[in-house]
Amino acid sequence: MPQIKPGTRLRSAVCASEVMVVAAPKESVELSCGGAPMCELSAEPAAGASLDPAAAGGTQLGKRYVNERGDLELLCTKPGEGSLACAGTAMTIKGAKPLPSSD
């Protein structure tokens, strides 16, 4: 897994999901989508991996996903069938606090 930082774009190896890193811890993290490790957007995913039915909850465009510790945040920039996990634990959608539009 490459070192990730805010702005890094990653893709799923097994579905169409793409994310952008919004916040990341300093140490490296183990990120997966659909049960397979994610790779950088520009990288070619390893062949042969397939979507793990146990991690097929899907990602939703524009939703922000956070890990359990709350120090990793990903923005889904392209939806797909796989679901996101950090160090083996499913990431959850960050609840949006509705704000009035101000501009």
Partner 1 sequence: MNLMMLLEMARSGFGDRVGLVSGDVRLRYADLFAMAGAAAQELAGSGAKHLAFLDVASPALPVSLFASAWAGLPFAPLSYRLTGDELDALLERLAPAYLVTDAERAEALAGGAVAAARGCDAFLEAARAGGAAGEWSMDPDAIAVLLFTSGTTGAPKAAVLRHQHLVSYILGSVEFGAAGEDEAALVSVPPYHIAGIAAVLSSVYAGRRIVQLASFDAEAWIALARSEQVTNAFVVPTMLARIVDALEASADSSLPSLRALAYGGGKMPQAVIERAMLLLPETSFTNAYGLTETSSTIAVLTPEDHRASASGDDPGLRRRLVSVGRPLPGVELEIRDEDGKPVGPGERGEIHVRGEQVSGEYLGRGSALLADGWFPTRDAGSLDDEGYLFLQGRIDDVIVRGGENLSPGEIEDVLLEHPDVADCAVVGIPDEQWGEAVAAVVVPRTGAARDADALRGWVQEHLRSSRTPERVVFRDELPYGETGKLLRRRVREELAGDA
Q: Interface residues with partner 1 (CB under 8 A)?
A: 6-9, 20, 22, 61-64, 75, 77-78, 96-103
The least CB distance from residue 35 to partner 1, in Å, is: 24
The least CB distance from residue 28 to partner 1, in Å, is: 19
Smaller CB separation from partner 1, 88 or 101: 101
Smaller CB separation from partner 1, 53 or 100: 100
For residue 24 the two structure tokens come to: 């990341």
Q: Supply φ then ψ for residue 53, to 5 degrees.
A: -55, -20
In this structure, the dihedral spanned by the alpha carbons of residues 93, 9, 68 and 45, taken in order and rounded to 10 degrees, is 100
CA–CA gap between residue 35 and residue 88 (Å, rounded): 9
